[in-house]
Amino acid sequence: MTEEDKQTEEKIFESATEVFVEKGMDGARMQDIANRAGINKSLLHYYYRTKDHLFNAVFEMIAGQMFKKFAPVLDENLPLEEKIRFFFREHIAFMQKNPRLPSFILNELHRNPERIRKLIQNIDINKLWTTIEAQHKEELKRYNITKENIPQFMTTVAGMSVFPFVARPVIASIMEKMGYDFDNYLEERKEYAADFVINALKKQEASNKM
């Protein structure tokens, strides 16, 4: 299917996604979306009624995409160490293809925290923890990961993956001045992050034994 053949509604949705992700809800302009879609402004309202509706459609699609990327980590039947490597490889690869998504999502959640609360309402966190515990009982004990400190651990892992994209302007500028390449940095990060986390866990393990 070529660009020309795309149905109008689909084309609008794609253009809207581009503009909203780039500029955010407040910075996005309906005119800009219409121009990119190659149609008239009023058609936007015909299909999506208001800017708010259009934004919500886009946001829900993107947030869904993002959360889906976390799911396989729980399903895969791998040792914890391999899961960590798998996560960084896949998650960073996804964001390399969609580098603006993390900032966009986190930012819009600041503007409207209710949105995330509703999403999380539907998740059974206790069940999630039970699943993890069942899959990795011994490893969790060995590495001293408990239900109490799992937020610390999870946010550490997530942060190592996401932070480079959120702070990209800063990091890229510094690296440019050092003569290094940001894309190369991202590529290396998949392994560096996994090694770093696993090292921290293993040292923890060594301390436990004493």
Partner DNA sequence: GTCTATAGAAGGATAGAC
Partner DNA sequence: GTCTATCCTTCTATAGAC
**Phi, psi of 49, rounded to the nearest 5 degrees:** 60, -65
Q: Which of 163, 149, 171 is nearest to 88 (CA)?
A: 163
User: Residue 204 interacts with DNA (CB under 7 A)?
Assistant: no
Q: Which of 51, 100, 115, 168 binds DNA (CB under 7 A)?
A: 51
Q: Say which entry of DNA, a second copy, none residue 61 contacts (CB below 5 to 8 A, set by partner kind).
A: none
| Structure-block tokens of residue 25 | 């809800």
Amino acid making up residue 181: D
Q: How many residues make contact with DNA (CB under 7 A)?
A: 16
The verdict on 112 binding DNA (CB under 7 A) reads no
145: Cβ contacts below 8 Å, ≥ 6 apart: 139, 153, 201
Return the residue of 14, 43, 133, 171 that touches DNA, per CB under 7 A.
43
Q: Binding to DNA (CB under 7 A): which residues in 52-71?
A: 52
- Look at residue 206 and give the partner it binds from DNA, a second copy, none, a contact being a CB closer than 5 to 8 Å depending on partner kind: a second copy
Give the residue from 156, 208, 154, 164 showing the smallest Cα distance to 190: 164
Q: Which does 185 bind (CB under 5 to 8 A by kind): a second copy, DNA, none?
A: a second copy
